[in-house]
Amino acid sequence: MDILKFKGMKYFKFLLLFVFLGCAGPRTVYDYDDQVDFNQYKTFRFFEDIKLPVNEIDAKRIFAQLEYAMVEKGLVYHENPDIFIDVQLNQFEAQRNAVGIGFGSYGRHSGINIGGQIPIATNTLTKQFTIDFVDAKNDKLIWRGFYEGDFQSNIEITQKEQLYAEAFKKLLSKYPPKK
């Protein structure tokens, strides 16, 4: 009986690993020029030739939420900026599968009971934002942030705006970098 308990525990550890890996949230990555004094930057503007692979209304929402996040960081939108901002967006639909598994023991003799599984498929839209900050004086990249997160398709406008706001808030959470 002890062997059954050991094997059951071994599989239980793998099950926990898969559950934790499946629950991963949005991912952010940052990079910056460590020779730059970021306190000198007070104003920003978006590059004029940015083309996002979304409709015009969604593009306006994205820029509005990013501008709001920048203002929250203490920067001001200006026609002659200290920083130019470039925005890139990649998006793709992915099918996510959720599986239910039952596992446990019963009785005085510690028998093992394993339940069945039913895959539950849902479609989610994964969006990857790359935000570049370019010094307006010397045209050098000074900061880059990457965000990847899942967005539900066909949601209300306010929910979509909230998702963009949360994405940019998380993306800019490490700006300006602490030295």
Q: What is the pLDDT of residues 83-104, one digit of tens each?
A: 999 999 999 886 665 555 555 5
- Going residue by residue through the chain, which has 179 residues, state the pLDDT in tens, using 9 for 90 and above: 555 454 554 444 444 434 444 445 789 999 999 999 999 999 999 999 999 999 999 999 999 999 999 999 999 999 999 999 999 999 988 666 555 555 555 555 555 555 555 666 666 789 999 999 999 999 999 999 999 998 877 789 999 999 999 999 999 999 999 87
Q: What confidence score (pLDDT) does residue 6 get?
A: 47
At residue 12, the pLDDT reads 47
Domains of the chain (ranges; CATH) run 26-174 (3.30.160)
Report the amino acid identity of residue 6. Answer: F
Give the C-alpha separation, 13 to 65, whole Å: 41
Decide: 129 and 171 in contact? Cβ < 8 Å: yes
Among 92, 93, 88, CA closest to 52: 88
How much is the pLDDT for 151? 85
